[in-house]
Amino acid sequence: MSNILRLDSQQEGFAEKLDALLCREADTGADVQDLVAGILADVKKRGNAALCDYTERFDGWACTGETIEISRERMQEAWNSVSDMDRESLQMATDRIRAYHERQHQDDWEYTDEVGMTLGQRITPLDRVGLYVPGGKAAYPSSVLMNAVPAVVAGVKEIVMVVPTPGGEINELVLAAAYVSGVQRGFAVGGAQAVAALAYGTETIPAVDKIVGPGNKFVAAAKRQVFGTCGIDMIAGPSEIVVVADGGNPAWIAADFLSQAEHDEAAQSILVSTDAHLLTQVASAIEAHLQVLPRAKIARASVETHGALILVQNWDEAADVVNTIAPEHLELALENPDEILPKIRHAGAIFIGHFVPEALGDYIAGPNHVLPTNRTARFSSPLGLYDFQKRSSVIRATRAAVEAIGPAAAHLAHREGLQAHALTLELRLKDKS
Amino acid sequence: MSNILRLDSQQEGFAEKLDALLCREADTGADVQDLVAGILADVKKRGNAALCDYTERFDGWACTGETIEISRERMQEAWNSVSDMDRESLQMATDRIRAYHERQHQDDWEYTDEVGMTLGQRITPLDRVGLYVPGGKAAYPSSVLMNAVPAVVAGVKEIVMVVPTPGGEINELVLAAAYVSGVQRGFAVGGAQAVAALAYGTETIPAVDKIVGPGNKFVAAAKRQVFGTCGIDMIAGPSEIVVVADGGNPAWIAADFLSQAEHDEAAQSILVSTDAHLLTQVASAIEAHLQVLPRAKIARASVETHGALILVQNWDEAADVVNTIAPEHLELALENPDEILPKIRHAGAIFIGHFVPEALGDYIAGPNHVLPTNRTARFSSPLGLYDFQKRSSVIRATRAAVEAIGPAAAHLAHREGLQAHALTLELRLKDKS
């Protein structure tokens, strides 16, 4: 039997034990900050020359501004070279991700109020976005789709991908995903040096307005440092799932539990139930699956270090546990999931019922798989159309409107000691032309 | 005549000159990072004891966990103590800010597609938000309203304010603004130590899910460092305005120009016109205003260091200049503003016509005055309701839906080497119960 922590909401110190369970330190690259700052400054100053120096040093190939470019034609070649099932799966995923994100479109609006002010909100896409794609061993074509498709739907004019090719190796399925999802240009570079190239631009790589996509701690540290020069998405931490179950098939629940654990030893899987017997059945099923899964070593380390089976008394308690965890992924494998759903305040994505394993959402359901990790679902959202757009306020006034509300504004300006602010209003108020 | 840079789109090297003009280095507190990290760690560890040590050292008063609290009753006292005009102005601003932000409400949605997947998006408020309010000289009650009201409209249950009171001094109008806008609790602390208290919690101050509001470089550095533990709003840089004008009253335009400049020597004001004569008239009017404005010294330093009067050939060129600047505030003081409006891609807030000086938006129009500065309008938005809410994806599947799209998901999982992911789908697919 695998050695998974069991907790009971009735035991003394349960809240403290739960807190301790959730204290996973995310490695955000604090130790490489200075190294990364040096790389950023160097690429900003020397452009391609620095970019290629670091690429030779870290990825082991001698490149130039010309040889790093991956053209649309090269992506199309990859698309043509992969199998029919590869193409069909990528196409279906792309279409479904597009359909979901199209629902996130918001219209501009404007209204005129009783004093004659016309106020509104305009939404416009970002001009150019950079997509960081990890290379080498952990090459995830699904990540290309999840980042590129919303940008395309948002109306971003140019999507630029960087992907490291250590030892010159490139993943054909990643290129095929870039092709089908609408990436315009690719560059075979990675690491902090690629983030610098996207943020500042080089002779070859255009500067972008926002950088999205996952990476190792060097990439994470670089994204933190360039934030402000361009936008960044969230800094992804270790992934987690919470399954709330009241029965169902223990083997299914165990597989769902392990699907998170196989990602990474730092991943966290937690099962919450009112049924102690189910917790035991799932624990057995986890062990059975671990006997045959290729990534059992990683998954076992994850479940034995960070996993937990939690017994609660009722669904109110279950909701409290979920809200404390604020999980990236939440499965409600329940007969009556809509009883607990209104009580859930914090979760990145919620999978409802017995037929929706998280993996369906990771690849093909349509909603984004880039989700807030490590309790950040308390204040942040899945990647979406809105990450590739920004809003502008629109403000129009008639003379009558300024007369109605201008004096109050001028008063507040004087009270804040900002007389030029007040003057702009007073000049309009005294104008009788 | 004040010495303001004049540029002409026809001159050689115009693009480079414009770029150079826009290169204002924002002081984001890189030099105080280590100092701030020490304060954060100390408050995290020692709570109130550390918070009060730093408050005594930096703000000069000996406080305790009890004496730092500013109750709702104290806020109400302040509300009762200010003048009728103060109360009316704050009330009008609060009502108008609330009305605008209520328009930003979005409904949850769910749809069922042709394969039987039901997909949706839920929006929920943050639980608890911390509002940083600068104290001492630069006390801005309008900033309290602009940060607190959207949080209230979003449904945030608890809004906590921190405001430093150097030498024990507190601004009554700030407290009155906190009262009318719905701040529940206040604490008379500031600086990096107050940010730490909000992020980690102390015996007295509850930990919050997001920290918003402007501050000095210590506050900015602290917010950057706690990001991840809680959310933060943008890091505000020096403020700017671009006025595009084709006539109108030079004295009005000059006042609008100076209303930005009086904030800060690092602020930037730029006027763009097709009319060289207007540029000269405005330059004269700026000088005339500077003779009488109390903050003339700051405004002159800003205008002479960062200001510019730019002559363009037509409105296409004007739009290009605006999009390059991506200004925080844009005034279109034009006879036909809607001709150029569709060409504007990047701006925080757009003030349209001759009767909308920026100051109207700063205080009372309704849209938020917390706007993306320093070219970040390329990728970010005004503070809004959406900053106090987060989204969750909702995913439901029938057995038939999993049969339709599950095989493609399982295929992609195998291609990414994630067999437990595939297993979760295969178990459901082979179930015939």
A chain contacts of residue B351, beta-carbon cutoff 8 Å = 395
Q: Which of B400, B392, B111 is nearest to A96 (CA)?
A: B111
Nearest to B399 among A355, A377, A398 (CB): A355
| Cβ distance of B122 and A350 shorter than 8 Å | yes
Q: Does A1 have pLDDT greater than 60?
A: no
Q: Please tell me the distance from the alpha carbon of residue B140 to that of residue B93, in angstroms, as a whole number.
A: 13
**Long-range Cβ contact pairs of A31-38 (< 8 A, separation 24 or more):** A32/A217, A32/A218, A32/A221, A33/A221, A33/A225, A35/A192, A35/A218, A36/A192, A36/A218, A36/A221, A36/A222, A36/A225, A37/A225
Judgement on whether residues B74 and B216 belong to the same structural domain of the protein? yes
Pick from A232, A257, A277: which residue ends a domain? A232
A201 vs B433: CA distance, rounded Å: 57
* Tens-place pLDDT, residues A339-392: 999 999 999 999 999 999 999 999 999 999 999 999 999 999 999 999 999 999
CB contact under 8 A, B289 and A405: no
By the 8 A CB rule, do B279 and B328 touch?
no
Domain termination residue (choose one: B232, B258, B286): B232
Based on DSSP, count helices (H) and strands (E) in chain A, helices before strands. Answer: 17, 15
Residue B91 resides in a domain: yes
Q: Where are the alpha helices (DSSP H) in A23-129?
A: 33-46, 48-59, 72-81, 84-102
For chain B, what percent of residues have pLDDT higher than 90? 88
d(CA B20, CA A432): 41
> Which of A86, A230, A392 to substitute to test the interface with B, most B CBs within 10 Å?
A392
The conformation of residue B23, written as its DSSP 8-state character, comes to: -
CB atoms within 10 A of CB A335: 11
Phi, psi of B136 (to 5 degrees): 65, -140
Q: What is the pLDDT of residue B228?
A: 86
- DSSP, collapsed to helix, strand or coil, labels residue B312 as coil
What is the H or E stretch that residue B181 is in? helix B172-181
Comparing CB atoms, the residue among B259, B381, B412 nearest residue A424 is: B259
Same structural domain for residues B61 and B184? yes
Q: Is residue A384 part of a domain?
A: no
In order of A45, B193, B239, B382, the CA distances from A129 in angstroms are 22, 36, 25, 20
Residue A388 counted as domain residue: no
B386 annotated as a binding-site residue = no
Segment (H or E) for A253: helix A250-261
A203, part of any domain: yes
Contact A364 B423 (CB under 8 A): no
**Mean pLDDT for all residues in chain A:** 94
Other Cβ atoms within 10 Å of A345 Cβ, number: 20
The pair of structure tokens assigned to B395 is 């995913």
Q: Is there a binding annotation on residue B313?
A: no
**pLDDT exceeds 90 at position A236:** no
Question: CA–CA distance from B321 to each of A199, A297, B379 (Å)?
Answer: 21, 57, 17
A148 and A295 both lie in a single domain: no
Q: Which residues in B lie closer than 8 A to residue A358 (C-beta atoms)?
A: 421, 424
The tens digit of pLDDT for each residue in B319-346 reads 999 999 999 999 999 999 999 999 999 9
pLDDT value, residue B32: 86
Q: Which domain holds residue B411?
A: 398-430
How far, in Å, CA of B83 to CA of B89, rounded?
A: 10
With CB atoms and an 8 Å threshold, state whether B355 touches A421: no
Residue type, A307: G
Please give the structure tokens belonging to residue B278: 């207007």
Chain segment B66-106, per-residue pLDDT in tens? 999 999 999 999 999 999 999 999 999 999 999 999 999 99
Q: Are residues A91 and A222 in the same domain?
A: yes
Q: Please compute the mean of the pLDDT values over residues B424-431 and round it to a whole number.
A: 94
On the question of pLDDT at B418 being above 70, the answer is yes
Strands annotated E in A285-339:
308-311, 329-333
Residues of A assigned a catalytic role: 328-329
> How far off is chain B from A262, nearest CA to CA, in Å?
7
Confidence of residue A137 (pLDDT cuts 50, 70, 90): low
> Do B205 and A374 form a contact (C-beta atoms < 8 A)?
no
Is B329 marked as a binding-site residue?
yes
Please check whether residues A211 and A343 belong to one and the same domain. no
Structural domain tally of chain A?
Answer: 3
What residues are paired with A329 via a beta bridge? A241, A349
What residues in A contact B345, CB-CB < 8 Å? Answer: 124, 127
**Among partner residues A93, A252, A399, which is closest to B412 by beta-carbon distance?**
A93
Answer whether A193's CB lies under 8 Å from A54's CB: yes
- Report d(CA A219, CA A234) in Å as an integer: 12
Report d(CA B116, CA A77) in Å as an integer. Answer: 34
Inter-CA distances, B349 with B90, B92, B338, B370, Å? 21, 20, 15, 10
Name the 3-class secondary structure at B137.
coil
Kindly state whether residues A299 and A243 are assigned to the same domain: yes
Q: pLDDT tens for residues A317-329? A: 999 999 999 999 9
Query: What ipTM describes this predicted complex?
Result: 0.95
Say whether both A65 and A159 belong to one domain.
Answer: yes
| Cα B206-B207-B211 angle, rounded to 5 deg | 115
Instruction: Encode pLDDT of B201-216 as tens digits.
Output: 999 999 999 999 998 8
Please report which confidence band the pLDDT of residue B24 belongs to, taking 50, 70 and 90 as the band edges.
confident
pLDDT of A170 higher than 90: no
Q: What is the pLDDT of residue B26?
A: 62
In this structure, the answer to whether residues A362 and A413 fall within a common structural domain is: no
pLDDT at residue B114, as a whole number: 96
User: B275: distance to nearest CA of chain A, Å?
Assistant: 22
Q: What CATH number is associated with residue A343? A: 3.40.50.1980
Are residues A341 and A307 both part of a single domain?
yes
Catalytic residues of B: 328-329
Hey, of B211, B324, B344, B364, which one would you mutate to test binding to chain A, going by the most A CBs within 10 A of its CB? B364
Residue B381 belongs to a domain: no
Mean pLDDT, to the nearest integer, of B240-262?
96
Mean pLDDT within A301-314: 96
What is residue A102's three-state secondary structure? helix
Q: Which residue has the tokens 């098939």?
A: A249
Give contacts of A352 with chain B, Cβ < 8 Å.
Answer: 394-396
Q: CB under 8 Å to A23, separation ≥6 — which residues?
A: none
A79 and A101 together in one domain? yes
Predicted confidence at residue B169, as pLDDT, reads: 81
What's residue A28's pLDDT?
A: 62
Same domain, A286 and A211: no
Mean pLDDT of chain B: 94
Question: Mutate which of A212, A356, A374 to disrupt the B interface (most B C-beta within 10 Å)?
Answer: A356
- To the question of whether residue B239 is assigned a binding role by annotation, the answer is yes
Looking at the fold, whether A59 and A91 belong to one and the same domain comes out as yes
How far is CA B288 from its chain centroid? Answer: 32
Q: Is residue A379 situated within a structural domain?
A: no
- Hunting for tokens 């699956």 — which residue is that? A289
Do the bridges between strand A185-187 and strand A69-70 make them parallel or antiparallel, or are there none, so unpaired?
antiparallel
For the segment A9-19, the average pLDDT, to the nearest whole number, is: 95
For strands A5-8 and A308-311, give the pairing.
Answer: parallel
CA distance A361 to chain B (A): 8
- Contacts with A90 from chain B: Cβ below 8 Å: 412
B373 domain residue, yes or no: no
Would you call A126 and B379 a contact, using CB atoms and an 8 Å cutoff? yes
pLDDT of residue A239: 87
At B138 the pLDDT is: 65
The set of residues, in sequence order, having a beta carbon less than 8 Å from that of A146 and lying 6+ positions away, is A97, A368, A369, A370, A383
Q: Is the pLDDT of residue B1 over 60?
A: no
| 8-state DSSP, B387 | G
The reply to whether residue A141 touches residue B358, judged by beta carbons under 8 angstroms, is no
Residue A280 within any structural domain of the chain: yes
Q: Could you tell me which residues come within 8 angstroms of residue A83 by beta carbon, excluding any fewer than 6 positions away?
A: none
